[in-house]
Structure 1
Amino acid sequence: MTRDTRSLELSDEQRLNRFPASPLCSLSWWFHGESRMVGFDEPPAASRPMPGRFVFGGPHRVPTQSWCPGPAHAMMLVLLPDALHHLIGLDAERWVNRIVDAAEVLPPEWLALCEAVQCAPDDEARVRLIEDFLDPRWQAARPAQVMTAHRYSDWAQGLALRAATSSAGRSLRQVERRIKQWAGQPMRELRGMARAEKAFFDALAAAPDPDWAGIAVEGGYADQSHLCRETRRLTGFAPVELRRRIAEDESFWAYRLWG
């Protein structure tokens, strides 16, 4: 996904970039301007420089945010952690809740891709470079059993199935260990994120006054209070406030893009 604010007049608050907890890994570039790391409960003034020119983010069990002090043009590639395990042998558990210089994680040929993307003339050329790089490598590395993942729940189900049918050992403990190695997090956490994603889409599709109790039941929560606790843990906001901010707050652009 890309973000270009060069033609926009935004306040400091609007230049925040808010992201929910996510099982995904990310690789980020900045072509104009910069982005700085800022704690979820911190003001932009407390921001810190990113750890490198190209930044790798592991799966996150907590919400995160960054801040652009001025106009910026950036791109983020998001990848499932088990795909990166097959492609480069990534141990996702090592990078949970971490944002680091990509050189700490990626092999030389991937860093060469980062340089090529940085120097490409436009976003269309950048996407083409990424696709041309990834496609042959994924065709060679992909597991024989692959499920089409439309949502986190589809992906988590496919991950559990592959872990359970792997020839490397099929005891419950081995399956759980394999899932955590591939995804960085236990299946319990992945299922929690899948529930939250379903509730997110159900709330966006609902009328102006969603039936939160019904959304909680349909999403597999024990009750509405459980939904509220989990939503706050994964996003930092209660469901009603989160829905309002997605609709009104510029810093929630990534949520709108996902929806």
Structure 2
Amino acid sequence: MSALPCARLHHPSRKTASIIHLGVERDTRALDLLPQQRLNCYPASPLVVLSWVFHGQLHMVQTPVDGGSPVLSEPLPGMLFAGPSRTPSISWSPGPVHAISIGLYPDALKRVFGIEASDFLDQVLPMEQVLPAASCQTLGQAGTEEGPLFEQLEAAIHRCAHGCLATEGAATLHHWLTALGMRMAATRTGTGLRQMQRQFKRWAGQSQRELQLYVRAERAFALVQQQENPVWSDVALQAGYSDQSHFGREVKRVSGFSPAQFAQRMKSDEAFWMYRLLGEA
């Protein structure tokens, strides 16, 4: 596993735990990285992600459908909105970079900003094209004051919420999905099943069945992180997959790699720093 100390997790305080799942900070300004070490591999995720680039540039790496050479996008804006992503993605920085990404629960997007996560599936856009102007102004002021950056960003998100906060947060995606299902059942008494399913998808961005994919992947990432030589049949069983084939298909869907390739890269490839952090979460 890489020992480069350039990435860290941030857990939300109690006041925003019902909005923020976690934050991730990447800072390579003090490191002399090779070009391949400046790649950043991200898993598919049900979360809405708000990102700030405080130093340097980031480009998305786009692979043509015909399998040709990867192509770099234009530099990403300094404030970025990413909707729930059903496929893994890769970015690259041409030099040192300092950025923070904060994952929001999809149902919180409606409470805080008044927009539906389901309208932005697989989309990456400048934050100003998606969020209300007043919210963008508030979020853009974060990082201009003294103190830890994540705490400033968290406080800005809290101000955008205007008191529209649920009482409990969720430690894992499993806990969030369970709590969301219970809230749905409590508020939709007498509603037909199909109507409840449609409402759930509007709240969460994807169906309950689709979201189970990420719950299993979250468990699998943690298990792979904990084991030096994973036994795949055991990992599949413990993570909730029906069999090893099911496990292999879903790991590839979320990460883009087979379980064996994924485990090797997670342990040795600097580009997989995000997966290592998520495994520790």
| Aligned counterpart, 1:164 | 185
| Aligned counterpart, 2:250 | 230
Find the aligned partners of 2:129 and 2:248 in 1 and give their Cα distance.
37
The alignment status of 1:100 with 2:120, answered yes or no, reads no
Matching residue's letter, 1:73:
H
| Conservation of the 8 A alpha-carbon contact between 1:13 and 1:44 | no
2:128 match: secondary structure: helix
| Aligned counterpart, 1:218 | 238
Runs of at least 5 residues in structure 1 that lack an aligned partner in the other structure: none
Identity %: 37
1:17-32 map, 5 Å = 17-32=40-55
- The range that moved more, 106-115 or 71-80, is 106-115
The structure with the largest helix share of the pair is 1
1:113 to partner: Cα distance: 2.4
1:221 to partner: Cα distance: 1.4
- Equivalent residue for 2:266, pick from 243, 246, 253: 246
Q: 1:190 to 1:49 in 2, by over 3 A?
A: same
1:170 to partner: Cα distance: 2.6
1:49 match: secondary structure: coil
Q: 1:114 to 1:195 in 2, by over 3 A?
A: same
Give me the CA root mean square deviation: 2.2
Counting matched residue pairs gives: 254
> Residue by residue, what CA displacement relative to the aligned partner does 1:85-118 show, whole Å, maximum 9, x if unpaired?
1111221111111100111111122211232125
- The range that moved more, 34-43 or 214-223, is 34-43
- Equivalent residue for 2:204, pick from 183, 198, 210: 183
The alignment status of 1:54 with 2:79, answered yes or no, reads yes
- Equivalent residue for 1:113, pick from 130, 134, 138: 138
Find the aligned partners of 2:159 and 2:76 in 1 and give their Cα distance.
30
1:83-94 map, 5 Å = 83-94=108-119
Question: Scaled by the length of structure 2, what TM-score is found?
Answer: 0.83
Find the aligned partners of 1:249 and 1:203 in 2 and give their Cα distance.
14
| Conservation of the 8 A alpha-carbon contact between 1:51 and 1:99 | no
Q: 1:45 to 1:241 in 2, by over 3 A?
A: closer
| Conservation of the 8 A alpha-carbon contact between 2:54 and 2:78 | no
1:77 match: secondary structure: strand
Find the aligned partners of 1:110 and 1:43 in 2 and give their Cα distance.
40
Matching residue's letter, 2:203:
W
Find the aligned partners of 1:242 and 1:202 in 2 and give their Cα distance.
12
Find the aligned partners of 1:83 and 1:223 in 2 and give their Cα distance.
34
Q: 1:50 to 1:56 in 2, by over 3 A?
A: farther
| Aligned counterpart, 1:151 | 172
Question: Scaled by the length of structure 1, what TM-score is found?
Answer: 0.90
| Aligned counterpart, 1:129 | 152
Matching residue's letter, 1:236:
G
Find the aligned partners of 1:238 and 1:163 in 2 and give their Cα distance.
35
Find the aligned partners of 2:63 and 2:185 in 1 and give their Cα distance.
36
Runs of at least 5 residues in structure 2 that lack an aligned partner in the other structure: 1-23
